[in-house]
Amino acid sequence: MANATIENETVTNDQPCPAIFVTGTDTGVGKSIVTAAIARHLTSKGLAVGIMKPVETGVEDPTQLGADATLLKWAAQSEDADEQIAPFRYPQPLAPCQAAELAGNLVDVDTIVERFNTLRQGKDIVLIEGAGGLMVPIRGGFLMADLAARLETPLLLVTHPRLGTLNHTLLTSFTARAMQLDIAGFIINNMPQQPGLAEEAAPHLLASLASCDILGVLPETYGNDQEKVTALAAQFESLPTYQWLLMKLGLSKHPAL
């Protein structure tokens, strides 16, 4: 655990905890599931995990957490306030800039930064899940990539093994490099039990072409979202890249791990 007590708002460790910004390369790659699975795994090891979904759209009742933020909160066993976890929630399933404009409540980036800094107090790590990919606009010309830059967090890319992953993943990694964003690495999610030629070749090709480290290949899972998260959380420790993943998360020297 981080040497801190939130109740008394006293933090004895002057160094902020590690944080990482999880982004996806395409719709349906399982970014929320992977983020929640990492949170679930680290929580099971006794770590205090902060989670954040700064902007969530398609939230049926914006006075409550949306599906993604709810899953993250459950996975991390978080007791943080909903306003800290998901500061901006909108009913329309649109790009954040559109959903916010329709709701008459534009995203305030300074608020997100403030909530993020508060979440880091007393935590061992904070996981931030973006909305969509890096080029999704939050407001005006401010993109999700710009938010990652403001938060000064490295990126964890979640991608898929299907045909098209080379283009999707390389475009995302090259864009991140062009915008001078640090990439911790990428995780391939939903690898079939019996992969075809494209899926079988994806890990090697991406590792050689993406100019960033492969931090895991996660199997396809079944069931509801909580069941998928639970299944994946149990997989991490058996990954050949597990220690590398911990290092990239800034946790390689944590005594619980």
Q: How far is CA 127 from CA 85, 101, 155, 199, in A?
A: 10, 27, 10, 28
Which DSSP helix (H) or strand (E) runs through 112? helix 109-119
33-60 as b/e: b if 16+ CB within 10 A: bbbbbbbbbbbbeebbbbbbbbbbbebe
64-74 as b/e: b if 16+ CB within 10 A: ebbebbbbbbb
Q: Is 53 noted as a catalytic residue in this protein?
A: yes
> Which of helix, strand or coil describes residue 223?
coil
Torsions phi, psi of 222, nearest 5?
-135, 165
Q: Quick one: 19 exposed, middle or buried, by C-beta within 10 A (0-12, 13-18, 19+)?
A: buried
The answer to whether the Cα torsion of 74, 77, 78, 79 is positive or negative is positive
Separation CA 165–CA 202 (nearest Å): 7
Separation CA 12–CA 149 (nearest Å): 27
Residues 6+ apart with CB under 8 A from 254: 47, 124, 246
Catalytic pick among 31, 45, 53, 228 = 53
- Whether 187 contacts 157, CB under 8 Å: yes
Residues in the chain: 257
Active site residues: 53
